[in-house]
Amino acid sequence: MATLAAADKAEFAFVRDTVEVSDPVLSKQAATLEKAGYVEITKGYVGKRPRTWLSLTAQGRRAFTAHIAALRAITEHTR
């Protein structure tokens, strides 16, 4: 989700390469996040080539922001 939080949308292949996972692993995670309402999956074409884009929903952005805040709170207590 951190990769998606940095942009409006990201191409599937870019996310896969950035987080260093296989297509099936990313596909399964994206589908799970989509069912939870955190990610939107958009399919289309660039020229004649099929492409898939991933983007965080508003709910996904809120959840990610809350998660980061919780992690920061934990690290502040360990200092």
Total structural domains in the chain?
A: 1
Q: What is the pLDDT of residues 37-47, one digit of tens each?
A: 999 999 999 99
Angle between helices 23-35 and 12-19 (to 10 degrees): 110
DSSP code of residue 57: -
Residue 77 pLDDT: 82
Whether 50 contacts 12, CB under 8 Å: no
Whether 4 contacts 56, CB under 8 Å: yes
Distance CA 15, CA 51 (A): 12
Q: Residue 8: pLDDT above 80?
A: yes
Residue 29 pLDDT: 98
Q: What is the CATH number of the domain that holds 62?
A: 1.10.10.10
Q: What is the pLDDT of residues 14-39, one digit of tens each?
A: 999 999 999 999 999 999 999 999 99
Q: Which residues of 41-67 are buried (b: 16+ CB within 10 A; e: fewer)?
A: eeeeeeeeeeebbbebbeebeebbeee
Residue 77 or residue 42, greater confidence: 42
Domain span at residue 72?
A: 2-77
Q: Residue 78: pLDDT above 80?
A: no
Q: Residue 67: pLDDT above 90?
A: yes
